[in-house]
Homo-oligomer: A and B are copies of this chain.
Amino acid sequence: YGKNTIKFLRLHKEGKKHFVKEVEVCTHLRLISAQEYLEGNNSLVIPTDTMKNIVLVLAKKNGIPTIEQFAIDICKHFMTTFGQVAYVKTYVQEVPWQRLHENGIPHIHSFICVPDGIRFCEAEQCRNGPLVVFAGIKDLKLMKTTQSGFEGFYKNEHTTLPERHDRILCGELFCKWSYGECRDFDFDCIWNKIRECILEAFSGPPDCGEYSPSYQKTVNSIQMNVLSKVSQVQVIEAILNNTFYNVVDMKNLGVTNDKEVLVPVETPYGSCACTLGRK
C-alpha cells in the first residue's frame, strides 16, 4: 500500500468571527494491482503529491465541519474517482486549538492549544464494501490518587508484588470506537458525550469515587459506560498505559512516609487493553 500524511490549517469566517481547524490527515491506498512493486510499472500509481492536492482541495471546497465528515468525504472521493483503488483508509487527527477568553468573553480570532486528549477518527472502505467510521481519543492522561488497589492476583515463586488496597491509579488512555456503517450522526455531540462517559467511569461519583480493583476493571467500566449510554457506538477498544508510583521508603532517612511522597516507576511499565462490543 501507499500512505501519505499532510498537516494543514482550515480557516473559516462567520462575519468577523474566525474558526480554525488544524488537522493531520493520513491516507492509505491499496491498488487492485501490485505491478508497480513487481514490475516497476507506475501507470496506476497515484503519487502522494496528488493525494495531498486532493485532500487540500476537498478541505477548501467542503470545509471541515467535523473531522469525521472530512474523513468520509476523502474516502468517497478516492473510491469514486479512481477505479484502480481497492481499499482506502483515512485517518484524521485534530490539533486541540481552543478559543481564548478574556474575562469570560470569547475572542474573535485568538486561540490556545490545550492538549487534554486528542480527538481522531478513521473512515475506511473496500471496493464494493460499506464505508465504516471510527472515532476516538488518545493521549488522555488521568490520575486517581485513591480508591484503587490490586489484590488476590495469581502468585508463584516469581511473585514479589505485595497486595495493595490504596494505590495511585495513573495512566494514558487510548479509546477507539466504531459507529458502524456511515450514517448521518452529530459527530461533535456524540464525541463530547463519550468523553464525559469515559471521565465519569474512570473517576466515579465526585464526592466519593468508586473503588477500582485493577486497571483491567477500570478499562472495562469505561467501555461498559460508553456502550450503555451512547447507542451509536457498536464496538469500543480501550488501552490504558499504566504509570506506576511507588511510595518512597524513608525509614533509613528517619522519616515516616504515609503515601505522601511517591516516585513514578519508568520501567517496567505495563498496559492493558480490551475490545468490547454489543451482543
Q: Are B269 and A36 in contact (CB under 8 A)?
A: no
- By DSSP majority rule, is chain A's interface helix, strand, loop, or mixed? mixed
Q: Are B49 and A110 in contact (CB under 8 A)?
A: no
Residues of B within 8 A of A214 (CB): 36, 40, 42, 45
Q: Are A267 and B158 in contact (CB under 8 A)?
A: no
Residues of B within 8 A of A34 (CB): 274
Q: Are B143 and A50 in contact (CB under 8 A)?
A: no
Q: Are B270 and A48 in contact (CB under 8 A)?
A: yes
Bound-state CA distance A202–B49 (Å) is 23
Q: Is residue A234 within 8 Å, beta carbon to beta carbon, of the partner chain?
A: no
Partner-binding segment picked from A127-135, A179-187, A204-212, A225-233: A204-212
Q: Are A203 and B102 in contact (CB under 8 A)?
A: yes
Residues of B within 8 A of A48 (CB): 242, 268-270
Within the complex, what minimum Cβ distance (angstroms) separates A26 from chain B? 9
Q: Are B141 and A113 in contact (CB under 8 A)?
A: yes
Q: Are A110 and B209 in contact (CB under 8 A)?
A: yes
Q: Is residue A189 within 8 Å, beta carbon to beta carbon, of the partner chain?
A: no
Residues of B within 8 A of A54 (CB): 158
Most B CB atoms within 10 A — which of A101, A106, A153, A202? Answer: A153
Residues of B within 8 A of A271 (CB): 2-3
Q: Are A161 and B102 in contact (CB under 8 A)?
A: no
Q: Are A206 and B106 in contact (CB under 8 A)?
A: yes
Q: Is residue A53 within 8 Å, beta carbon to beta carbon, of the partner chain?
A: yes
Bound-state CA distance A110–B200 (Å) is 10
Contact pattern, A 16-51, Cβ under 8 Å of B = 1, otherwise 0 = 101010000000000000101110111111111111
Q: Are B262 and A11 in contact (CB under 8 A)?
A: yes
Q: Are B209 and A102 in contact (CB under 8 A)?
A: no
Which of B9, B153, B200 touches A168 (beta carbons < 8 Å)? B9
Residues of B within 8 A of A252 (CB): 160
Q: Is residue A159 within 8 Å, beta carbon to beta carbon, of the partner chain?
A: yes
Q: Is residue A217 within 8 Å, beta carbon to beta carbon, of the partner chain?
A: yes
Q: Is residue A138 within 8 Å, beta carbon to beta carbon, of the partner chain?
A: no
